[in-house]
Amino acid sequence: MLRVTKLTDYATVVLTVLAAQHDRVLSAAELAERAGLEAPTVSKVLKPLAQAGLVEGFRGANGGYRLARPADEIGLIEIVEAMEGPLGMTECSLHEGQCGLESQCGVRANWRRINDVVVEALSNVTLAQMLAPSFPTETVATAKRIDLRLAGA
């Protein structure tokens, strides 16, 4: 089954809490409380998010974290890749030469196309959009666009 890890899911929750605060600096403890997560889990996700430039950390008595950029400039792909590394549906969809079957494989190009569609879909959803509830019509329209893209239309 294709799914993001729990830590990626938690990272998205933490980032939406920060996005809702509009540049306010929140401590890791405040983030944990508002996100409904354990403090060690929040600390664990903040490190790769900071390394990826998605959050800024501030030291001191009034220290904490805030988004490094506006929420509408942060795509979900950035969050996924900060937590999990580059998105690759298969070994060969990221790098050539990773599979011994590559020279005779007929599905590599299709996996790359699928990988590109998933990356594009995650790139087109922003953190700001994650704050607002999604409506079924938007979900259906997105699914139809993806279906058309996979069909080669």
Identify the band that residue 107 occupies on the pLDDT scale cut at 50, 70 and 90. Answer: confident
Give the 3-state secondary structure of residue 88: coil
Give the CATH number, domain containing residue 48.
Answer: 1.10.10.10
CA angle 52, 81, 139 (to 5 degrees): 125
State the residue range of the domain holding 77. Answer: 6-150
| Whole-prediction pTM | 0.81
Give the per-residue pLDDT at 148: 64
Of 122, 92, 120, 85, nearest in space to 106 by CA = 92
Radius of gyration of the chain (CA): 18
Q: How many CA atoms lie within 13 A of 27 on its CB side?
A: 9
Domain count, the chain: 1
Asked whether residue 1 is domain-assigned, the answer is no
Do the domain assignments include residue 106?
A: yes
pLDDT tens, 68-97? 999 999 999 999 999 999 988 777 766 676
How confident is residue 140, by pLDDT bands cut at 50, 70 and 90?
low
Q: What is the DSSP letter of 135?
A: P
